[in-house]
Chain A
Amino acid sequence: MAELIEAVLRGLGTGSVYALLALGFVIIYKATRVISFAQPAFMLAGVTMVTYLVLEVSFWVAVPVAALLTGLLALGVERLAVRPMVGRPAFVVAIITLGVDVAVRVVVNAFIGLDVRNVLDPWGLRTVGIGGIDMQQRHLAAFLTTAALVAALFAFFRFTRMGLAMRAAAYDQEAALAQGVSVGTVFALSWGLAGALAAVAGTFAAAGSSVDAALWLIALTALPVIILGGLDSLPGAVVGGLAIGVLQELTATYQNHAPWLGGNVSVITPYVVMLLVLLVRPYGLFGTREVERV
């Protein structure tokens, strides 16, 4: 029983990272109707910035600064590569972001180099124990940070003028434009937000271990998450992220019961779950069904 609960708690920790990444994808999708394949690159860029910044300032300063800088990087990418494509098919823009991802990651990898880089987080691999059940501090921190960020985001979308503008633009771009919403600002802000969230997610993904070029694959796991939750649903991203995280950890814990699946089967669990979900619910658990007229 303790093993099960510990696996679930670990899953909530990794799931929080997925949830943050998935939120970035969904925010961009809602604003621009595009899936940004550049998110992995932003995550890697953000966490690499953290590894450089922590050498100068404390962890608590480094993470927000890196998030801000990554947000600015995302803004720049949006302005240079995505804005000229407004009105073109979503698939074309998605492929452009794929190009951005490949190009940015090469630059970031050059900064990562061959040395071991750490985010020097205050948690490491220490655990907290309650009643014989241990939870790693980094997972607890990831979960709490995600909860705080999600609450802040929901408040932002619900109670601020800009949040209202973003919801309006997501609902109907032209109508929002006609009401005086600056849709360009909405695009820029959503990319910036997504970049910043990716940087935070990257930091938690690297907490307790080190940063290397393969870390970007974690960000791709957010893709099955948004499919599971529904492309245009913020609650779906959070629920999907946590669900995928827990499922992945459960598979990792109990995979020795099915050795024919091979080791590391937990890496592909999200994709298998995605395929199964799509066969039953093509628009995810919380996504809105697309209705189209000819």
Chain B
Amino acid sequence: MSRARMRGRPLLHTSYASEMALFNTPAKRAWFGALLAVAVALPFLLTDDILQLLALCCVAAIGAIGLGLVTGYAGQVSLGHAFFLAIGAYAAAAISGDPDGRVIGFGVTNMLVWLPAAGLGAAAAGVLVAPLATRLRGLYLAIVTLGLVFIGQHIASEWSSLTGGVGVGRPAATLSVFGYQLAATGAFATRDQKLFWLMLALLLVFALAARNLARSKVGRAFTAIRDRDIAAGVIGVNLARYKTIAFAVSSFYAGCAGALLYTVSGYFDPSSFSLLLSVQYIAMVLIGGAGTVSGAIAGAFFITLLPRLTREVQAWVPFISTQPNEVPNVFQVETILYGVLIIVFLIFEPRGLFGLWVRARNYWKAWPFSY
């Protein structure tokens, strides 16, 4: 295993197991450890509002990893991520909701119940959609999944006994385990500190699981389908089966992310699950770097922090207004940035933020030589 590796030769693997390990080079282990240590320490360094935003980033990253699995790894373009997020969000909110309330609720507030249930509910929807995916390819699939978003939005806005209706909304799921409130200000920590730790821990679990899946037989089947589906079929990859698995796993991630997404703000409305949400997730995967888990996480953090960043930048750029009725205002700049960043990254760095990291790494690896 790793002990057998020669010093100073991090890429020399002497066994298959060591090459396929979760962290197959010492550098990856070191970076992962360092980043995790910094992340765990962050609640002591940052203010509560930023922590809340970072908690949201972690949840978005779970969703982005899910989309990354189906779009980045398996190459099936899905514009329907918002649909699966919605299923997860409503399943969780309904299970944990108040049984005597205005909207449907079953009163099971235990997160260990509603989180898997939300994921499985969304995964079931993913399996239902998968037959279309196995029959269609590329852009046809993109349009069909786009149709799902509209159908989902219609159901969400009409079924007001579940969703509360447009403009009203309903409370999100409750973060508690066996009656213990996971995110409530206590003697040790504030609500936002606990929230961040909780979401970070969940992100860690989901990210490691995704990476583990990607290096398994299933993950290799995904990449084979992405690179050339006919060739993959010829060498014995069961296309229908693996596309179904890809959609199911991706939807499971989306469902869990959807369930958690609104626990931070506590309230949500059917109009949240629009096409723009899907585009944001596509942007996360593409700007972060398609086909990598770390890229999806980086992209999710980047896109989720973007509104905040544009507000910070606004202080330096005098002609951008913070008033929504003036032109140009921060909301417009933010939306334009989504579009422009997608275009710029796809044209100049198709590997995304992950590609920028690879470039920097390779530069310093060979330094002071150019290659």
Contacts and interface: CB of A to CB of B under 8 A. Distances in A.
Contact of B135 (A102, A267, A279, A292): A279
A88 B350 CA distance: 10
A293 B234 CA distance: 11
A290 B139 CA distance: 13
Nearest to B337: A103
B342 A271 contact: no
Contacts of B140: 227, 231, 278, 282
A282 B135 contact: yes
A110 B276 CA distance: 18
B279 A94 contact: no
A102 B279 contact: yes
Given A90-B139, A279-B132, A220 B336 contact: no
Nearest to A272: B151
Interface stretch (A59-67, A144-152, A190-198, A257-265): A257-265
A91 B138 contact: yes
A267 B154 contact: yes
B217 interface: no
B54 interface: no
A84 interface: yes
A84 B332 CA distance: 26
Interface in A63-120: 81, 84-85, 88, 90-92, 94-96, 98-104, 106-107, 109-110, 114
Contacts of B338: 99, 102-103
A100 B347 CA distance: 13
B146 interface: yes
Contacts of A227: 140, 143-144
B142 A278 contact: no
A247 interface: no
Query: How many interface residues does chain B have, given as a range?
Result: 35 or more
Contacts of B131: 279
Given A91-B139, A99-B338, A101-B339, A265 B346 contact: no
Interface in A222-266: 223-224, 226-227, 231, 261-265
For the residues of B in contact with A, the DSSP-based class is: helix
B20 interface: no
Interface residues of A, number: 48
Contact of A96 (B139, B143, B347): B347
A230 B228 CA distance: 23
Given A106-B335, A278-B144, A95 B282 contact: yes
B58 to A, nearest CB: 25
A275 interface: yes
A223 B146 contact: yes
Interface of B: 77, 131-132, 135-140, 142-144, 146-148, 150-151, 154-155, 158-159, 228, 230-231, 234, 275-276, 279, 282-283, 286, 325, 327-328, 332, 335-336, 338-343, 346-347, 350
26 contacts: A35-B139, A84-B347, A92-B346, A94-B77, A95-B282, A95-B286, A95-B346, A96-B343, A98-B282, A100-B339, A102-B336, A102-B339, A102-B342, A107-B336, A109-B332, A220-B150, A223-B146, A263-B158, A264-B154, A265-B154, A271-B147, A271-B150, A271-B151, A275-B132, A278-B144, A279-B135
